[in-house]
Structure 1
Amino acid sequence: MSATRLLVLGVVRMRGEAHGYQVRQDLLMWAADRWANVKQGSIYHALKKLTAEELLEEVHTEESGLGPDRVVYRITPQGEGDFFYLMSKGLGEGDSGPAMFNAALPFITALERKTVLFLLKSRIRQAEGQMATTQHLMDTTIAEKPGDIGKPAHIREMFRYWNASVEGVVEWLRDLVKRLEDGEYEFADENPAAFGAPPVR
């Protein structure tokens, strides 16, 4: 739910005001149904749940020639707080999972540049620690020769695969950090109208 929660809050925030169909169209364009398992029903469920929790508010309804009237939503101040909390978790905590990280990426410019850099560098440090742990497991738990106590030698391929996967992510993260440090993209502290600006009240 957290990835869907972040995506729905982020899209409503980005648009200023939005109804469910607009949120759904944006997320389909980003292929969120593939990498975050966001389904049409989960979007509307999230809108209702976030409204019940006072993180979104209903602004008005729009007539639709294709079906029932559409409820238009806007993020609340409490929703802003939840949005930034989920962004911090999604970008900075490696154990939040790939869906949360992917959900946070479209909205990075809603944060200050230095905040994004801090969170990404924290994620890199966590990944490096994970690689060191995996290497230690490979070095200390593989049997030296057949029949010895420990994991069979071929099991090290599993550890190598884990580390290769993480190494690829770390390489990409380091490249992203360098590009952001070099000034790529515009962030909220540089342009108040950056992608993901909050609604004007």
Structure 2
Amino acid sequence: MAKKRKVGNLLALAVLAVMQDEAMHRYQIAARLRDYGKDRDLDIKWGSLYTVVQNLAKAGFLEVVGSEREGARPERVIYRITDAGQRELVDWTRELIAEPEPERGRFLAGLSILAVLPPDEVAELLGRRLVSLDAQIAEVRKELAELAATLPRLFLIESEYGLAVLETEAEWARALRTELLEGTFPDLAEWQAWHQGGPGVDSARARAYVEGVDTTSDR
């Protein structure tokens, strides 16, 4: 079970990771995060970086070691990771790798209420999604091939995982679309009939089906 962290924002984990080797002010931290491509791995809200750094310092994971000023610019506070911060980084990483947690996204939310759309429209929408997924997959494959020429595989693992997720989603979406187009999806006729409102449709049962309610227990 995931621990309750003093600073639970995943941006905090990325900050601790990039600060292992040297002390930095937050502008350097932001530049390092971009250099390492962390904005591709995480949904980083750059406006929250200042707050995250402050919270890490309050929690004892970062400490102030100085400041610098360039010309008329505001003074920049320099932080470094503490021993407690290093332990937090390692412990948090272990947890993320070892303990699966549900990752609920926009696509899953849409799938959970899929039946509000007619099946022919779902097939068309899945086709559009597949065009986008195939383009993303091609882009990631190209990027991985280019990076593999200069970087050890250790630093490409997250991109490999991202590619595998995209490929798996595309495979699943393509199979579902094929079932809809070929008419092999279970209860497809009832799903279509409910949306068409044709004669002889058991509207109560069809609505329960569309809304994901089990009606078999009433029989």
Q: TM-score, normalised by structure 1?
A: 0.46
For CA contacts below 8 A with separation 6 or more, give which structure has more relative contact order: 1
